[in-house]
Chains A and B, each alone.
Chain A
């Protein structure tokens, strides 16, 4: 119940395309869903986050879609750029604990 399942493990997208990373959770106590971006040799950094009372949140080219009934959420990167190449982690938090997904390595082809 504490797991956050993330897919795919790796993703290759052409420049200008849409990158989509999916996550699923089981524990309905989770109430905050952040995404972290990690570049090689760096620590993860908070990218965008959503609470379950909204179905979508957009910040620039990054959008989180949230489906509360299905217990799923996804990150969409529009007009993907080579600079977006990184590892992305979804996470779920219930206030006293945060659980990370296993990460998706995204590579954007120039």
Chain B
């Protein structure tokens, strides 16, 4: 009965590959997010979706493409992976658009070699 779940937890891949991270929330929230956390622990928002519509798209390379098949799922697809993409990616959800009460998933540690 995990509120926000992500798969996989760890992802090791080579430069140039394409990979996806999946996220699901069972809280009934309308808004979902993707964050990137670098080695210095800085949390950077990448995307925000409200009821399947893209709301926020921060300055993120277009190799990153979010997909929301329904409001409970927000997947992240990354093309042509680069070394600098190595980070922990967190999915989160909130009841309200831009809501400060966010529920985070456990994270996906992506390592690009």
**What is the size category of the interface that chain A forms with chain B?**
20 to 34
Scoring B residues 10 to 26 as 1 if CB is less than 8 Å from chain A, else 0, what string do you get? 00000000000000000
**1/0 per residue B98-111: CB within 8 Å of A?**
11111111110000
A32–B4 Cα gap in the complex (Å)? 23
Stretch from A15-23, A42-50, A58-66, A69-77 that touches the partner: A42-50
Contacts of B76-92 to chain A: CB distance below 8 A: 90, 92
Whether a CB of chain A sits under 8 angstroms from the CB of B97 is: yes
In the assembled complex, the Cα of A41 lies from the Cα of B106 at a distance in Å of: 7
Known: A43-B4, A43-B92, A87-B41. A93 touches B100 (CB 8 A): yes
Residues from chain A with a CB closer than 8 A to the CB of B102 are 44, 46, 98
Besides A43-B4, A87-B41, A102-B42, 10 other CB < 8 A contacts? A41-B106, A43-B104, A49-B101, A93-B98, A95-B96, A97-B56, A98-B98, A98-B99, A102-B41, A105-B41
